[in-house]
Amino acid sequence: MTQATHTLLVERVDSLSDADLADLCEATDAAIIEGGGFGWVNAQGREALTRHFRGVLLVPERVLFVARLDGHPVGSAQLVRPPRYNEAQAWSAQLTHAYIAPYARGHGLARLMVRRVEEHAAALGHRVLNLDVRETQETAIALFEGLGYTRWGTHPAYARIEGRTVAGHHYYKALEPVRGRSKDALFPPER
């Protein structure tokens, strides 16, 4: 038995073609329906998601990453940087809205996507990457913890889904700088 070889790519995008946008909207709705969407709990449809992604591309503090399987967009993530006036938190950024469509999972794209976001954040000078995830998203939790994210807290009333209150977990990860002091200098070991 031979295993199919797929082309995996995660790229930072500044624009999306109509075809890519259609594929990305389809992937997003599939992830939402499966329960792995990002904030939405009901499918949004192409028109609403097209507006969403076009809006994301306009926000200077947001960087959109698109995961591709065999050339087709099947997921995305966003790196959110603090606004320029927030100098005190300029060293950190947030990974948000990360997902891979259910039909494209199992190829390592989620791991690759998170790594690309981390690399880009570090290249921009960020030393810490924060994220949060609903407690129901067990696969995402396993991914982030497997990539070295540290859970620092749980919000017991993080989200409301189908009439049920759901907790959310908050994570951070120190990023290796492109140059300069290592991440160990940021977080010395406890004594």
pLDDT, tens digit (0-9, with 9 covering 90-100), for 53-91: 999 999 999 999 999 999 999 999 999 999 888 888 889
Residue 184 lies in a domain: no
| Predicted local confidence at residue 88, as pLDDT | 85
Q: Is residue 187 part of a domain?
A: no
Would 143 be classed as within a structural domain? yes
CATH code, domain carrying 91: 3.40.630.30
- Domain presence at residue 50: yes
Regions of the chain where pLDDT drops below 70: 1-3, 36-37, 179-191
The number of domains in the chain is 1
72-80 sheet: strands from edge to edge = 8-13, 62-69, 72-80, 92-100, 128-134, 164-174, 150-161
* Sequence-separated contacts (24+) of 139-146 with Cβ below 8 Å: 139/36, 140/36, 140/98, 140/110, 141/169, 143/110, 143/111, 143/114, 144/114, 144/171, 145/171
pLDDT at 191: 46
The confidence score (pLDDT) of residue 177 equals 84
Quick check: is 127 in a domain? yes
pLDDT (0 to 100) of residue 35:
82
* Domain housing 158: 8-179
Contact 13, 67 (CB under 8 A): no
Residue 88 in any domain: the answer is: yes
> What is the C-alpha separation between 25 and 21, in angstroms, rounded?
6
Q: Is the residue at 3 inside a domain? A: no
> Does 89 reside within a domain?
yes
